Structure 1
Amino acid sequence: MAAAAHIRLAAADEVPRLADIELAAAALFPDTDLPALLRLVSTPEPVLAAAQREARLWVAERDGELAGFALASRNGECAYLDEMDVHPDHGRRGIGRALVGAVQGWARAGGSHSLNLTTFAHLPWNAPFYASLGFRQLRDDELCPLLADALAAQRAAGLRQRVAMRQVL
């Protein structure tokens, strides 16, 4: 039986390997949701390196290899799950749930009142997954400026059926 994933803060030397996880996860999305060009784009390494130095980047390690990661940020009393990816080879084993749990713990410990994210509304491993963890889809009139801007930028990049979600901590 395979070991459960171990969730921990990322080490600096692991940052360059996270793009491979993100791109492998992006390959799961239908072309209608994630345009082909966006399948080739990952979070810039300097962004991940800064998050690693600031202790807001977690990795999931399973069977001696990196299986996923989560990137978070904070603005005032709100925390944000900016990116979360699990390599398809390690999917459906609770790794995403464990990564979100690490971010929730970080957000609570830092005094955040909520954890926010944007995701696809209709894909089972997106909004329905987050709803199972206690996140609620936000109406347009509930969006803070950061979430409204994020959704607008995602739509401008060609992403469709995107929604913002929040969990009160």
Structure 2
Amino acid sequence: MTYEIRQARPDDFRHFGVIESAAAALFADAGLPEIASHEPTGLEFIEATANAGVVFTATGNGMPVGFILGAPLDRHMHIYELSVHPSHGKRGLGRRLVEAVCTHARERGFDAVTLSTFRDIPWNGPFYVSCGFRELARNEWTPALLLAHYREEDLGLPIERRCFMRKELAE
């Protein structure tokens, strides 16, 4: 199969829910069945992200098999969602999607990319560390990250397993 990373088009967005739900199912095996049962990101948020930032998709033979949502938050580019359909996993697509957002951010003058993730799940925290991200200490959180933390807590996420990460973008 031939894979490509490209900026998503509005007609790609309708595929994202299936991709995200399939990827979220992996959380059940990691002891987080509540994540697996969450509703996928809504179309309204995907469209807002595309308008304010960027949405990239990984395609396999022209069909979306993964996506990433990135938009500004506190003067940095923030990754809101990264999902790759498990049947297309382990091919470097997630890494290529992260690199696409980092390149996009750098080209637009952002000095860093941030995100929120589970620190202990291999395809979350350790994956992002391998992409050059580092965990932020709580005293490094911005007001918007603190609000995001409260939102995650309100959603019932196991907050003790969550972290914010940041990657500096070199010139």
- Residue aligning to 2:49: 51
AA partner of residue 158 (structure 1): G
Query: 1:12 and 2:19 equivalent?
Result: no
Query: 1:157 and 2:155 equivalent?
Result: yes
Alignment TM-score, normalising by the size of structure 2: 0.90
Counterpart CA distance in 2 for 1:59 and 1:98 is: 10
1:28 to partner: Cα distance: 0.5
Overall identity of the aligned pairs, in %: 36
Counterpart CA distance in 1 for 2:165 and 2:52 is: 24
1:155 to partner: Cα distance: 2.2
Alignment TM-score, normalising by the size of structure 1: 0.91
SS at match of 1:29: helix
Moved more, 79-88 or 44-53: 44-53
Given that 1:34 and 1:159 are in contact with CA atoms closer than 8 Å, whether structure 2 keeps it comes out as no
SS at match of 1:112: coil
- For residues 1-169 of structure 1, what are the structure 2 equivalents within 5 Å? 2-3=1-2, 5-30=3-28, 32-35=31-34, 39-54=37-52, 56-75=54-73, 77-160=75-158, 161-169=161-169
- The RMSD of aligned alpha carbons is 1.7
How many residue pairs are counted as aligned between the two chains? Answer: 166
Moved more, 20-29 or 151-160: 151-160
Runs of at least 5 residues in structure 1 that lack an aligned partner in the other structure: none
Given that 2:53 and 2:70 are in contact with CA atoms closer than 8 Å, whether structure 1 keeps it comes out as no
1:65 to partner: Cα distance: 2.0
1:60 to partner: Cα distance: 0.4
